[in-house]
């Protein structure tokens, strides 16, 4: 298996992607080639710093002179900075040089590059980002987490199909239930997008659990949560922020007296268990599903471990042949729809 890694992607590049590449090669023997895209001299410098001046022969460096910065406009920067590491990684997938592309860089540029260069899978109208979220007892997929900000009902149907495939193949759930994120459980509750999507999801060959509310996400979770990319992104970032804020407040409150500090020290393993569970590093990255090629997008502030885990996700997606499973699911859905319309007398 060959993996293309954007060595210039993320707030700490090329340092962290390069270190993650070394770790991934040690951990995943199924990777035959790991191609680093980016400014060659800077990549070589990083390799040297961490004692890999003569790196693993499975590493290959492809020089690209341009770097897309986090503040750049996605489509415009892809046009202006043609020789950039995001576009080149994606093109490697398109041209069969790599089985998957991984980046901790600019999400919007990654989505645009993948959509333009790889195109959508047959039967899929729009790609979406599938993010893994933890509950106390469960993992669920939130889709779309920010690829498509003005979604239409048929896009949400595609997310339901793709999210179900992901949940089955990668997370191992049998018959994953799909919930539509809305503001009440009844089908009449929601905005015009979710009301129309509700009808489509009701008729689709998935395990539709109806509308779910924000409060159900963690207290009464389903396996796949479908929403438009704007809402998904806001939910994701708000969730992170609230979890951080609570731990911060707690820390400040605990520091107020020595007895509280001693108590918290005694209970420290409990805090650690939660921290680990809510730590995005464990999940690493998010698959952009719906494009014709495996693409993993990691957090801009990813640690080495997070990028290594994003590479692991790419490996798993390739091994599980996720895209062919999606194509088949879309075919089944299309046949199902046709059978339904045949069943209705003219």
Q: Does 339 bind a second copy (CB under 8 A)?
A: no
Taking the C-alpha atoms of residue 115 and residue 121, their distance in angstroms, rounded to an integer, is 10
Taking the C-alpha atoms of residue 308 and residue 52, their distance in angstroms, rounded to an integer, is 17
Q: Does 244 bind a second copy (CB under 8 A)?
A: yes
Q: Does 235 bind a second copy (CB under 8 A)?
A: yes
- Of 3-11, 20-28, 234-242, 303-311, the window that binds a second copy (rule: CB under 8 A) is 234-242
Taking the C-alpha atoms of residue 301 and residue 287, their distance in angstroms, rounded to an integer, is 17
- Of 56-64, 85-93, 110-118, 178-186, the window that binds a second copy (rule: CB under 8 A) is 178-186
Closest alpha carbon to 105 in 132, 66, 79? 66
Shortest distance (Å) from residue 288 CB to a second copy? 16
- Of 39-47, 168-176, 217-225, 337-345, the window that binds a second copy (rule: CB under 8 A) is 217-225
Shortest distance (Å) from residue 28 CB to a second copy? 31
Shortest distance (Å) from residue 37 CB to a second copy? 24
Shortest distance (Å) from residue 137 CB to a second copy? 10
DSSP secondary structure, 152-173, as one string: -HHHHHHHHHHHHHHHHHTS--
Q: Does 69 bind a second copy (CB under 8 A)?
A: no
Q: Does 237 bind a second copy (CB under 8 A)?
A: yes
Q: Does 188 bind a second copy (CB under 8 A)?
A: yes
Q: Does 276 bind a second copy (CB under 8 A)?
A: no
Angle formed at CA 335 by CA 330 and CA 340, multiple of 5 degrees: 125
Residues 6+ apart with CB under 8 A from 61: 7, 35, 36, 38, 40, 43, 44
3-state secondary structure of 300: coil
Q: Does 71 bind a second copy (CB under 8 A)?
A: yes
DSSP secondary structure, 177-194, as one string: EEEEE-SSSSTT-S-HHH
Are 102 and 5 in contact by the 8 Å Cβ rule? The answer is yes
Q: Does 138 bind a second copy (CB under 8 A)?
A: no
List contacts with a second copy (CB under 8 A): 71, 73, 108, 135-136, 146, 149-150, 181-183, 186, 188-192, 194, 213-219, 227-231, 233-246, 248-250, 252-254, 256-257, 259-271, 273-274, 277-278
């Amino acid at each position: 298996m060959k993996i293309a890694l954007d060595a210039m992607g993320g707030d700490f590049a090329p340092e962290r992607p390069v270190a993650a590449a070394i770790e991934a090669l040690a951990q995943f023997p199924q990777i035959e080639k790991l191609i680093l895209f980016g400014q060659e001299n800077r990549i070589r410098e990083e390799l040297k710093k961490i004692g890999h001046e003569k790196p693993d022969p499975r590493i290959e460096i492809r020089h690209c002179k341009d770097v897309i910065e986090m503040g750049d406009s996605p489509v415009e920067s892809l046009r202006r900075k043609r020789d950039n590491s995001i576009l080149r990684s994606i093109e490697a997938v398109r041209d069969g040089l790599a089985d998957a592309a991984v980046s901790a860089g600019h999400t919007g540029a990654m989505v645009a590059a993948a959509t333009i260069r790889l195109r959508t899978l047959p039967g899929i109208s729009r790609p979406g980002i599938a993010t893994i979220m933890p509950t106390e007892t469960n993992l669920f997929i939130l889709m779309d987490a920010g690829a498509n900000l003005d979604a239409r009902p048929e896009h949400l149907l595609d997310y339901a199909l793709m999210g179900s495939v992901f949940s089955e193949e990668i997370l191992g759930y049998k018959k994953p239930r799909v919930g539509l994120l809305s503001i009440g459980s009844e089908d009449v509750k929601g905005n015009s997008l979710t009301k129309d999507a509700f009808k489509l999801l009701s008729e689709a060959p998935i395990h539709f659990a109806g509308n779910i509310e924000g409060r159900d996400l963690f207290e009464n979770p389903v396996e796949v949560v479908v929403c438009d990319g704007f809402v998904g992104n806001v939910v994701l970032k708000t969730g992170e922020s609230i979890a951080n804020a609570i731990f911060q407040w707690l820390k400040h409150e605990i520091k107020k007296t020595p007895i509280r500090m001693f108590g918290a020290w005694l209970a420290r393993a409990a805090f650690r268990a939660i921290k680990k569970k809510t730590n995005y590093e464990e999940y690493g990255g998010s698959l952009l599903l719906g494009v014709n090629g495996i693409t993993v997008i990691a957090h801009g502030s990813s640690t080495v471990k997070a990028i290594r885990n994003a590479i692991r996700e790419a490996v798993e997606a390739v091994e599980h042949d996720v895209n062919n499973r999606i194509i088949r699911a879309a075919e089944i859905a299309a046949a199902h729809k046709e059978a339904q319309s045949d069943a209705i007398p003219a």
